[in-house]
Amino acid sequence: MTTIRLVQGDITRESADAIVNAANSSLLGGGGVDGAIHRRGGPAILAACRDLRASRYGKGLPTGQAVATTAGNLDARWVIHTVGPVYSRSEDRSELLASCYRESLRVADELGARTVAFPAISTGVYRWPMEDAARIALETVRETSTGVEEVRFVLFDEPAYEVFARQLD
């Protein structure tokens, strides 16, 4: 059974087998969590992402999919990059958001990761409402069969932490 923990803090300072990056499809860094992971993780992550683009993802990583690279200077073995969907009021994209969590756990299982740290995927510049994102994230992790022993949601600020805590209860 997977233990779910909530932590308020900076995901780039977490110690875990794998840290999940809320990446953009280019895999080449960006703002928010993506930029922070690339900055703290150093050039090895960007080099690995460039290799992935050259070999498999020339058009970018599709939304809802996940792929792993080295973690560079982070206190982790791997970074699992996943592309969250942009929130839409006119189109239900919740299955794509759930897929980010399922696919990240699938990749974690392939790697043999036992601890995985997730951010709140799609809640930043992709504007997914935090309550709905927390519900989808927690339900998906609970329902996904995985060998991962601990999933840690690392929430950047107190309001996000409180939303996830309410949903976890």
Paired tokens of 144? 């996904």
Whether the Cβ atoms of residue 114 and residue 149 lie closer than 8 Å to each other: yes
Paired tokens of 86? 């942009």
- 163: helix, strand or coil: helix
Whether the Cβ atoms of residue 6 and residue 155 lie closer than 8 Å to each other: yes
Whether the Cβ atoms of residue 45 and residue 83 lie closer than 8 Å to each other: no
Catalytic choice (10, 17, 34, 92):
34
Alpha-carbon Rg for the chain, nearest whole angstrom, is 14
Instruction: Estimate the share of the chain in helix, then strand, then coil, as percent rounded to the nearest 5.
Output: 40, 20, 35
Q: Is 34 a catalytic residue?
A: yes
Q: Which residues are catalytic?
A: 34
